[in-house]
Structure 1
Amino acid sequence: KPPRIHRIGGKRWKTLRKKTERVIEEMTTELLELYASRQTVNGHAFSEDTRWQLEMESAFLYDDTPDQRKAAEAVKKDMEAPRPMDRLVCGDVGYGKTEIAIRAAFKAVQDGKQVAVLAPTTILVEQHRHSFGERLADYPVRVGSLSRFQNGKQQKKVLAELAGGETDIVIGTHRLLSEDVVFKNLGLLIVDEEQRFGVKHKEKLKKLKSSIDVLTLSATPIPRTLYLSLSGVRDLSLIRTPPRNRMPIFTNVIPWTDQLLAEALYRELDRGGQAFFLHNRIDTIYTVAGEIRELIPEARIGIAHGQMAGGELDKIMRDFVDGEIDILVCSSIIENGLDVPNANTLIVDRADRFGLSQLYQIRGRVGRSDRRAYCYLLVPNDVNEDAERRLRVLEQYTELGAGYSVAMRDLELRGAGNLLGADQSGFASQIGLDAYMRLLRKTVKRIEKGEAEIEWPVPDVTMAGAALFPDQYVPDSHQKLHLYRRLSKAETQTEIEALRDELSDRYGRLPDEVKRLLDAAEIRTLGKLLGLERVIVREDWARLSFREGVVPKIANLEGPMRERQVSMEVLRVHPLSIKLTREGFEPMIEVVVLALSALCASRDKAA
């Protein structure tokens, strides 16, 4: 839903902007305090790679992709620094994030530290336990797990071993965040798919994070996580190189028809493969499984959902992994962690009810081998426009390693809202994501500097002559719109000058209309910093009117103006208004830009 258009400077806009600034300030202060404290706290500087570390890494069955190698080195370098690590590794499912986590965990254990691996589902916990255990089997490392698959007696044993330091690596669901979980010497926290945890879990995570190294793994980070990484609050590593022989997933948004479903499922079974059918309503999942059984009577069908008893769910999953089940009718419990290379058809019922990043994650359950994989997103005929737009993104991004791109589109489409806190909707959708992001950036800067800065509105600029990009200079209308957008978002004189150079380079000598447009943008940018209310530029004179209470050092203008044969006259003292009159030949608009630059320079020196 696009934001409502408000008149800039109007009462409604000012009220909404003030509210948004207040909310952003509250969120950002809390978050930046956490990250600032992490910068000042001395963490544990881990040792450089040992012979065992190099030996374990070289035993990896696959060749590291260039991105994977780069990410692994960045993680280890962070760990060797005294400042606590906080790195996000973003890469598609099956792109080697788990291997990076195993290497980091092994490095930590060799320094006598314990490692906690937090995963969102019991299925993923079991898979990680298997992966970590298998990779580290040749070394004296004890890997344990904590989830609802274990009974009370087993859980007590794991807790005692953790507290006594007997368990080196523990892998668990949010159960790891419970009060009764005590570590003897925790040094590294690995969080897999952070966006799958609830608000309360994240609050507990914050407390855990303050002085230990943290590694976060994600295929499609939520807008908040992504923004923190893009803005430099968190370090970011991208793994975009696919494993060898991996193929894009054919994705299609279609309505439910029995014929099409039967064709899709038979095609998969005929090539000896398996399929997922995702139906996310537990009260009707058995009915849907019956319908699939009628369509494909010879198929072996299993059912899996989160409300099943731990032992029963575990058996179903193992049977599917072992090829004892042909079609798994399941809830979104499969979203994280089920690795079945032989399953290469996925059908998602009522795909319009899922979020974009969640669907992308679910789609990653197939296409994990060198076979072509198929994903069918079933929607009703009357699907709403927003949902359809979201689903078309998945049709568009079928190329390998698109998780980061999908997350970026999610950031744009969602209008995100409270990017830093628990609430995922609200003010950004009201004022627009661009305006929200600008306010967020400014608030972060202000809090980091620890000072309150008065922000004036953009001054009103009146000038003679057209100020635009003429058709003959920039013929492409889309490109022209993009340039206007860039100019409107420019916040510094440096950005405008960079655009000026780029235009000269791409389109040739600047026509007068473009020069005026760029000069006017500079006047607005500088005038906003100086507290100007109105600027009038004519052929031979200009008038600069300042806001109430603004007192610039106009004495600093005398030298530069005299050099350019420009006289100055004070028209009004309170609020200040001055007139510049040209006696030479320099264009008046350029004189105004020079005058405002000189005033800004003297202001910065004083500050």
Structure 2
Amino acid sequence: MTHISALTPPVVKKSTQVQTLSCIAGVCQAVTLASVVRQHKGTTLVVSSDTPSALSLELELNYLLSADGIKVRLFPDRETLPYDSFSPHQDLISQRLETLSQITQADHSVVIVPVSTLMMRLPPKSFLSANVFVLKKGDKYQLQDVRQHLTDTGYHLVEQVYEHGEFAIRGSILDIFPTGVNMPLRIELFDDEVETIRHFDPETQRSLHPVDAIRLLPAKEFPTDSAAIEGFRQRYRRRFEVIVKEPESVYQLVSRNLMPAGIENYLPLFFDDIATLFDYLPKDTQLVTLGDIEKSARAHLQEVEHRYLDRRVDPLRPLLAPKELYLLIEELFAAFKPLPRYQFIAPSSEANDDKASVIDAHLLPDISANHKLKHPLLALQDYAQGAQRILFSAESEGRREALLELLGKIQLKPTLFSHFNEFIQSDVKLGLIVSPLSRGCLLKFGPRDAVSIICETELFGHRISQQRRREKQRQISNDALIKNLAELKVGQPIVHIEHGVALYQGLITLDTGGLVAEYLQLEYAGGDKLYVPVSNLHLISRYSMGADGDAHLNKLGNETWAKAKNKAIEKIRDVAAELLDVYARRQARPGESCAIDEEEYAQFAHGFPFEETVDQESAIHAVLADMQSPTAMDRLVCGDVGFGKTEVAMRAAFVAVNAGKQVVVLVPTTLLAQQHYENFKDRFADWPVVTEVMSRFRTAKEQDQVLKQLEEGKVDIVIGTHKLLQSQVKFENLGLLIIDEEHRFGVRQKEKIKALRANVDILTLTATPIPRTLNMAMSGMRDLSIIATPPAKRLAVKTFVREFDLATVREAILREILRGGQVYYLHNNVETIEKCAQDIIDLLPEARVVVAHGQMRERDLERVMSDFYHQRFNVLVCTTIIETGIDVPSANTIIIERADTFGLAQLHQLRGRVGRSHHQAYAYLMTPHPKRMTSDARKRLEAIDALEDLGAGFMLATQDLEIRGAGELLGEEQSGHISKIGFSLYMEMLESAVKALKQGKEPSLAQMLNQQCEIELRIPALLPEAYVGDVNIRLSLYKRIAGCETEAALDELKVELIDRFGLLPEATKNLMEMTLYKHQATRLGATKIEVHATGGSIEFSNDHVIDPGFIIGLLQSQPQIYRMEGPNKLKFSLPAETAKDRLALVKLLLEQLSQHQSQHRLGDK
């Protein structure tokens, strides 16, 4: 047994040679492995025993090899169980196929794979190489051929491209989201030549930067062309010797080219020959295995066998045997044989033999901080006195600053280094780096060079999750979230301002006297139909139901609607006045404007490790503008969990502290206070800002010290729970109050917050605003910023509403823990929670289960949560205590028992606990039999099931408000009016009334009812079906066109339409021009304009703004052209044969009228 240095492992030259290295896990293993990779100029295949170690190794090797230009690739698992009825997420398939295509290139690289993933059989190498398709600018292609190729290789034809593996064709424009690419692409052809290729944003559908060529990989791990389908059918018949006639059987579905979920379990039936990862590896590959690979492989095969026996009874889905889908142990080790191999084993391993080279490294003694002692780092201090060299590793800049401070207390002053290698090559005794290295050790690099590498794990027993730089991606406009009519489904109730509540029955094209136009078809009580031209979409709003459930349809031509509407209007005026009173009092609140040091602020902003999303940027700008204004800020920032609200708060805190003010961050739980404290400390690490936390983690003496420093102004930012609201907490100069999740505080605490509000700036952060808060914000009493853009790579949480059964529970937990993740199991009954935990242990003995609930002693609860955070347990059986808990990025499945008993906001909040990383997250909402649930509960579950979208928290709050009825907001009386006219219309009218009163005007009926001028030119004005095929996209575009009030807004939309759908048809140009004139005419007080071949008319409202003298002048000077009909209708005789003539005539008339406006409206007299 020879002892060697981690930097000089022996070189393995012969193909069949196996070199065993005895090495402790963690830094020692990562450093030695990096040396092994550097020595070999080809590909290194690293096989780990499980998924978590593969993930952490990817981080460590990327760090250690970054300067060498060596590519580190992880071949990801499918993240499904053997014989699962799930298919992998499309993003994972994309990553897998991209990695497979890169592995074949013989370069200096590392491929990391867990052994369970390595054992899966894969498509043959020829499948990938034969199906790569390159599109270049300037080359010629038949669009039909490209379409066929995409369909044959698994791409899915859609109306609008959002995800990997989708494509859309509109005229000569092809949109596609190729496998292995971060952003979709838009290809424009001129005839059959590729004119441009540009990336585009999948949310806004706007084009971004151009590229010269794209490489299209298949979208699935198997072909889907007709020959492949026929091949599947033949192999299926040979293999199972039976054909199942049921249409939902795998055989019949694939025969119809419908790929069922879990089709990957039939991969061999698509090919004559099947491959493994070994077939993709270049010839010069060397192999590295970590830990007991054989033991892990056997355990995996056992699980495969178990699931095979469990599931093979289903005649609709007969199963292939395990050996057809996975390598057996003998095959795996036979594939290892020809490769030169390093075998890393633990020093205590039975596999240790005399030939093993032992890496000269030792575990560190226990040097962890002991907070019970007067000097917590006493053990480290003693150890440091006898050590040759020490390198400390912190996990972020903020942690580095905290560590420097702690080490300074025991007279240790390390030198800062930018990289591990830089310290090793120096002769400095004491160093400190920022790195993802975990689990330190004493490493010997030479007889007189022993380095103790101490990570935070050794000192504090936990790991702060690494942040990765994210790209700017996915931007959703709030307007789209709030007002998008595209979600309208046929049969849903909607409101027509003039005729009341009806059912929407779709878009219909009608030919009236040779003029083709599109109409919304509405059905009223008694089956009466109303056809609303798309140019009048402003009269339509969604009907949001109150608590009673179904909408009460109005009858056409009946007085009921008019009465209900008029009653609501009367009341709305009073409500608006009341709201304005509150608004005025708030505006009158004295505040101090904060001056912003632009240079220092820019430097602080630059320290944010991610790209800001568009929503985040606009929220930050709004907050800074509020802080600079002389009135006190009261802003609500609403955004889903993990969407970057904290950064908005940190920017505000920085501005306040820089202006000499103190900041309070109020949170509902101690654990959250601790996490915020660590995050703030981290973010302000490079600034002279003193941040403190008031929580039970601090001794009474420490808390008294913080209180004293707060009063003296020595603490800039203090974070804590409601304890900060106690009377003994005094501030020297409080300037900003940040409240996280306000609805989690009790009534008494809210009263205390109100008292604090006197004249400080208030910033409230929330994921799901409580309805009252939301409505006050919507009607202008508080300012509202919405962050609806998810961070890049964050996948929506897959939500399942299921009747409770143990098989689903077992499968959900198993799927998560096998991919190295963690599970929240929510059982909201303290009395039976221990039994529930025991049931899970009986169901899954391999799970590491722990219990957490609010009746535990606080210290015990904190310990449990900390242990779960640091992955010592992988299933947390808990109550709703986790609702505002700490972030656990590796917890990606939540199972909620009796989901029917929770409110919508709460369910959304709970679901937000998972899906904090780029792994697909799952939420299982378990319910009793549907008959045992209330109709409200069913509606809540349907709502949360439908809103899987990221950023849906805001929509959920609106919907929650609708489900409960808005009685809570404005009292029962208002609730009645709301349910009669619908929430959306009520809010529109209220907003309009508030706006008018703010300007010192009486709210006008026309304004409140959103009345616009009608223009009737009898010319084609629509989005032809041939131009925009999808009816829902067409409907939302009509709504957007109707909402463009200026020429600039219309021009911007024109650019987008040309970009997405090609050149505008004449009918669409007409529609956009008419929209512009409609808004101009409305502002002038016109109510209707008609133009036909020989003339037309303009009707005015009583409060128009046209100078009467100008109209009298027209009548006197040109009586043969102009005449009045009644008091408000001006008729004119002017020829206008064509569409162009009629539009030009309307433009001319409106220009003349605009130049002759009176100084006040007639209605103002």
TM bin, normalised by shorter chain, reads 0.7 to 0.9
Larger Rg: 2
Change in Cα spacing, 1:370 to 1:551, as seen in structure 2 (3 Å) is: closer
Change in Cα spacing, 1:359 to 1:162, as seen in structure 2 (3 Å) is: same
Give, in whole Å, the separation in 1 of the partners of 2:774 and 2:980: 21
Give, in whole Å, the separation in 2 of the partners of 1:358 and 1:365: 11
1:390 is matched by which residue type in structure 2? Answer: A
Instruction: Give the TM-score of the pair, scaled to structure 1.
Output: 0.74
Does 1:130 pair with 2:678?
yes
Give, in whole Å, the separation in 1 of the partners of 2:878 and 2:986: 39
What are the ranges of 5 or more consecutive residues in structure 2 without an aligned counterpart?
1-544
Does 1:63 pair with 2:598?
no
The residue number in structure 2 matching 1:320 is 868
Cα deviation, 1:424-460, whole Å, max 9, x if unaligned, reads 9935444223312322321231232133244347699
Q: Is the 8 A contact 1:348 1:376 kept in 2?
A: yes
Does 1:507 pair with 2:1055?
no
1:558 is matched by which residue type in structure 2? Answer: I
Give, in whole Å, the separation in 2 of the partners of 1:421 and 1:114: 33
Q: Is the 8 A contact 2:847 2:875 kept in 1?
A: yes
Q: Is the 8 A contact 2:1097 2:1130 kept in 1?
A: yes
Alignment of structure 1 residues 308-347 onto 2, 5 Å = 308-347=856-895
Does 1:556 pair with 2:1110?
yes
Does 1:441 pair with 2:991?
yes
Q: Is the 8 A contact 2:767 2:953 kept in 1?
A: no
Q: Is the 8 A contact 2:664 2:719 kept in 1?
A: yes
The residue number in structure 1 matching 2:791 is 242
How much does 1:187 deviate? 1.8
Name the stretch that deviates more: 588-597 or 143-152: 588-597
Give, in whole Å, the separation in 1 of the partners of 2:1017 and 2:618: 55
Change in Cα spacing, 1:180 to 1:96, as seen in structure 2 (3 Å) is: same
Give, in whole Å, the separation in 2 of the partners of 1:467 and 1:18: 40
The residue number in structure 1 matching 2:924 is 376
What are the ranges of 5 or more consecutive residues in structure 1 without an aligned counterpart?
572-576
How much does 1:136 deviate? 5.0
The residue number in structure 2 matching 1:415 is 962
Alignment of structure 1 residues 246-265 onto 2, 5 Å = 249-265=797-813
Q: Is the 8 A contact 2:1089 2:1098 kept in 1?
A: yes
Q: Is the 8 A contact 1:412 1:433 kept in 2?
A: no
Name the stretch that deviates more: 368-377 or 70-79: 70-79
How much does 1:110 deviate? 4.8
How much does 1:77 deviate? 5.1
Q: Secondary structure at the match of 2:1005?
A: coil
How much does 1:409 deviate? 5.4
Cα deviation, 1:194-236, whole Å, max 9, x if unaligned, reads 4544566556545544643444434455566667778886374
Q: Is the 8 A contact 2:1110 2:1156 kept in 1?
A: no
Alignment of structure 1 residues 487-526 onto 2, 5 Å = 506-509=1064-1067, 525=1082
Give, in whole Å, the separation in 2 of the partners of 1:447 and 1:415: 26
Name the stretch that deviates more: 143-152 or 342-351: 143-152
Cα deviation, 1:97-130, whole Å, max 9, x if unaligned, reads 4355445435544544221001122321122233
Give, in whole Å, the separation in 2 of the partners of 1:542 and 1:71: 45
Q: Is the 8 A contact 1:255 1:379 kept in 2?
A: yes
The structure with the greater share of residues assigned to helix is 1
Q: Which has the higher contact order (CA 8 A, sep 6+)?
A: 1
1:392 is matched by which residue type in structure 2? Answer: D
The residue number in structure 1 matching 2:567 is 15
Give, in whole Å, the separation in 1 of the partners of 2:1045 and 2:967: 25
Give, in whole Å, the separation in 1 of the partners of 2:917 and 2:895: 18
Q: Secondary structure at the match of 2:595?
A: coil
How much does 1:185 deviate? 0.8
Give, in whole Å, the separation in 2 of the partners of 1:602 and 1:305: 69
How much does 1:167 deviate? 3.5
How much does 1:261 deviate? 0.8
Change in Cα spacing, 1:17 to 1:286, as seen in structure 2 (3 Å) is: farther
The residue number in structure 2 matching 1:295 is 843
Q: Secondary structure at the match of 1:602?
A: coil
The residue number in structure 2 matching 1:390 is 943
Q: Is the 8 A contact 2:657 2:716 kept in 1?
A: yes
How much does 1:177 deviate? 3.7
Q: Secondary structure at the match of 1:10?
A: helix
Count of residue correspondences: 583
The residue number in structure 1 matching 2:1157 is 602
2:588 is matched by which residue type in structure 1? Answer: S
Does 1:349 pair with 2:897?
yes
How much does 1:262 deviate? 1.2
Give, in whole Å, the separation in 1 of the partners of 2:885 and 2:927: 25
Change in Cα spacing, 1:315 to 1:579, as seen in structure 2 (3 Å) is: closer
Change in Cα spacing, 1:109 to 1:517, as seen in structure 2 (3 Å) is: closer
Q: Is the 8 A contact 1:492 1:525 kept in 2?
A: no
The residue number in structure 2 matching 1:574 is none
| Percentage identity across paired residues of the two chains | 33
Change in Cα spacing, 1:137 to 1:422, as seen in structure 2 (3 Å) is: farther
Alignment of structure 1 residues 34-73 onto 2, 5 Å = 34=586, 36-37=587-588, 41-48=591-598, 50=600, 54=603, 63-67=609-613, 70=617
2:946 is matched by which residue type in structure 1? Answer: V
Q: Is the 8 A contact 1:557 1:595 kept in 2?
A: no
Give, in whole Å, the separation in 1 of the partners of 2:1013 and 2:659: 63
Change in Cα spacing, 1:311 to 1:452, as seen in structure 2 (3 Å) is: same
Give, in whole Å, the separation in 2 of the partners of 1:296 and 1:445: 60
Does 1:568 pair with 2:1141?
no
Change in Cα spacing, 1:537 to 1:87, as seen in structure 2 (3 Å) is: same
Give, in whole Å, the separation in 2 of the partners of 1:137 and 1:470: 55
Change in Cα spacing, 1:595 to 1:109, as seen in structure 2 (3 Å) is: closer
1:37 is matched by which residue type in structure 2? Answer: A
Give, in whole Å, the separation in 1 of the partners of 2:1012 and 2:594: 51
Q: Secondary structure at the match of 2:588?
A: helix
Name the stretch that deviates more: 92-101 or 340-349: 92-101
Change in Cα spacing, 1:197 to 1:507, as seen in structure 2 (3 Å) is: farther
Change in Cα spacing, 1:128 to 1:23, as seen in structure 2 (3 Å) is: same
Change in Cα spacing, 1:304 to 1:558, as seen in structure 2 (3 Å) is: same
Give, in whole Å, the separation in 1 of the partners of 2:1090 and 2:611: 59
1:264 is matched by which residue type in structure 2? Answer: A
Name the stretch that deviates more: 225-234 or 345-354: 225-234
Cα deviation, 1:6-29, whole Å, max 9, x if unaligned, reads 567622221133224423432343
1:508 is matched by which residue type in structure 2? Answer: E
Name the stretch that deviates more: 169-178 or 153-162: 153-162
Q: Is the 8 A contact 2:735 2:761 kept in 1?
A: yes
Give, in whole Å, the separation in 2 of the partners of 1:171 and 1:248: 31
Name the stretch that deviates more: 73-82 or 444-453: 73-82
2:1111 is matched by which residue type in structure 1? Answer: L
Give, in whole Å, the separation in 2 of the partners of 1:223 and 1:255: 29
Name the stretch that deviates more: 275-284 or 231-240: 231-240
How much does 1:298 deviate? 5.2
Alignment of structure 1 residues 100-249 onto 2, 5 Å = 101-102=649-650, 104-106=652-654, 108-133=656-681, 141-146=689-694, 158-197=706-745, 205=753, 208-209=756-757, 211-221=759-769, 234=783, 236=785, 238=787, 240=789, 242=791, 249=797
Q: Is the 8 A contact 1:44 1:212 kept in 2?
A: no
User: Of residues 814, 827, 832 in structure 2, which corresponds to 1:266?
Assistant: 814
Name the stretch that deviates more: 409-418 or 123-132: 409-418
